[in-house]
Amino acid sequence: MSSLRDIPSVDRLLLALRRQVADVSHALLRDAARAEIDLLRSEVQGGAVFPQESLLNLLVDRAAARLASDLEPRLRPVINASGVIIQTNLGRAPLSATALAAMVHVGAGYTNLEYDLEAGERGSRNIHLEALLRRLSGAESALAVNNNAAAIYLALSALAVGREVIVSRGQAVEIGGGFRIPDVLRQSGATLVEVGTTNRTYALDYAAAISERTALLLRVHTSNFRLVGFVHETGLAELAEMGHARGVPVLDDLGSGTLLPTAPYGLASEPTVSESVAAGADLVTFSGDKLLGGPQAGLIVGKKELVDQLKRHPLARALRLDKTTIAGLEATLLIYLRGRAIEEIPVWQMIAASLDGLRARAESLAIQLAHTGATVAITDCASAVGGGSLPGATLPSIGITLAPGPRSADECGRRLRTGRPAVVARIAEGRVVFDLRTVLPEQDAALARAIVAACTAGES
């Protein structure tokens, strides 16, 4: 049996490892070899026993496995069977095929990102999205930055530094990930002035707080929570009318934001971007990677005079988009302009998916899983929009449940998450639940294979 002196040297392991692993730098090979030798030495010192003749092969296999793991991308695709459409932890909105193709197309070479081909001189990256955003929102001007938090921060920094911003006490909220409106205001150099109460704020509350130091009236749309019961919220149109009469601009943070009405699809009515512009908001901010269904971005539309101030602010350069994101957003906005969002943008395909279509997919999937030995059933379930959109609102959906047999549902869930591809599902009442509304139809076959692998792994 082995002892410490039987452990191969680093040089000997490197020679053997190089025969098995090609196209890897010497430095990576050396680090993997040293790490595995150190690990084996600790194991032997701890009393582990290995056949002497197998030590080299054992180290080669371990080092090769370590290299494979180290060189595998950390970010990888996941099949989302959780039933949450805009799943922040899973990357929010999946992109359309058109957007992906556009991003690949411009990412593969040079582009006219900041070059005016007609004039033969330097141009602006803002022009690629501005006209589309103006047309789709009805606003005078537009700007895109890297997320909606950045959009709000830029607006406050450019327009309200050293001055006051008035917001309803019921809207001085934490949006998500520790992003709190009062903190953002302080960081931007603006002073927060809260008015009204948590549940009821009137136009008179805003009017009484306006002074010569007031820079903005801020409305924060409650896109990720709801106040119910004895509540009152000042409408945007009323707020804008009062602000304009006093010469104070209104900034409307829509959060998720949508270009399409949500009510026709069985959801609560979410204000659209064009409705906010029409109601008189001077600036409207919203996300590009939620209900819009594009890549991560923060979109700002509104009055040209105000948007121009944002464009000139030094932060605008720090928060600007790269060429591939611009290409993906442009392709996504063009889909809206063609009236094809329901047909082509995955988020809206999921929202609009029919129960009959989901049931047919569930029946097909159940047939493919019949031989696994697990108990499979088609089930009614409920999907959430997610991503800070339409809190409490759900869509009826269809999925399958899996009682994994000898394994627990938690163990089956772990095997699914760590499989290839990874699958994220729900665990409920001792069963694994796969909501098909959030599984792309083209992923059904891969989902079936992943479930079979999770149910049968380790069986002889």
Share of the chain above pLDDT 70, in %: 94
* pLDDT higher than threshold 60 for residue 449: yes
Average pLDDT for 111-119? 95
Average pLDDT for 236-255? 94
54 or 349, greater pLDDT: 349
Summarised one tens digit per residue, pLDDT across range 342-374 is: 999 999 999 999 999 999 999 999 999 887 778
Q: At residue 265, what are phi and psi to the nearest 5 degrees? A: -110, 20
Per DSSP, the residues of 139-158 read -SEEEEES-HHHHHHHHHHH
* pLDDT higher than threshold 90 for residue 82: yes
**Strand 164-168 with 214-220, pairing:** parallel
* pLDDT higher than threshold 90 for residue 197: no
What count of other Cβ atoms lies within 10 Å of the Cβ of residue 375? 12
Q: Classify residue 111 by burial, with Cβ atoms within 10 Å: 0-12, 13-18, 19+.
A: middle
Average pLDDT for 247-253? 95
Amino acid 460: pLDDT: 38
Q: What domains are defined for the chain?
A: 4-70 (no CATH), 78-87+348-456 (3.90.1150.180), 97-344 (3.40.640.10)
DSSP category for residue 261: -
Residue 193 exposure: Cα atoms within 13 Å on the Cβ side: 19
* pTM, 2 dp: 0.90
* Arithmetic mean of pLDDT over the chain: 90
Average pLDDT for 267-289? 94
Judge whether 300 and 129 are in contact, CB under 8 Å: no
Q: Report the run of H or E that residue 359 belongs to, with start and end.
A: helix 355-368
227 or 48, greater pLDDT: 48
DSSP category for residue 67: H
Residue type at position 1? M
* pLDDT higher than threshold 90 for residue 325: yes
Strands of 88-163 (E only): list them: 115-116, 121-122, 141-145
Average pLDDT for 450-456? 86
* pLDDT higher than threshold 70 for residue 341: yes
Judge whether 87 and 386 are in contact, CB under 8 Å: yes
Nearest to 435 by CA among 329, 339, 338, 359: 359
Contacts within 8 Å (CB) and 24+ apart, 92-95: 92/289, 92/290, 92/296, 92/387, 93/289, 93/290, 93/291, 93/292, 93/293, 93/294, 93/346, 93/347, 93/387, 94/346, 94/347, 94/440, 95/293, 95/294, 95/295, 95/328, 95/332, 95/346
Q: Report the run of H or E that residue 432 belongs to, with start and end.
A: strand 431-435
| Joined tokens for residue 84 | 């949450």
Amino acid 317: pLDDT: 95
Amino acid 455: pLDDT: 79
416 or 48, greater pLDDT: 416
CA-CA distance, 130 to 138, in Å (whole number)? 11
Q: Could you tell me which residues are beta bridge partners of residue 84?
A: 384
Give the confidence band of 224 by pLDDT, cuts at 50, 70, 90. low
R_g of the chain, CA atoms, integer Å: 28
Give the confidence band of 243 by pLDDT, cuts at 50, 70, 90. very high
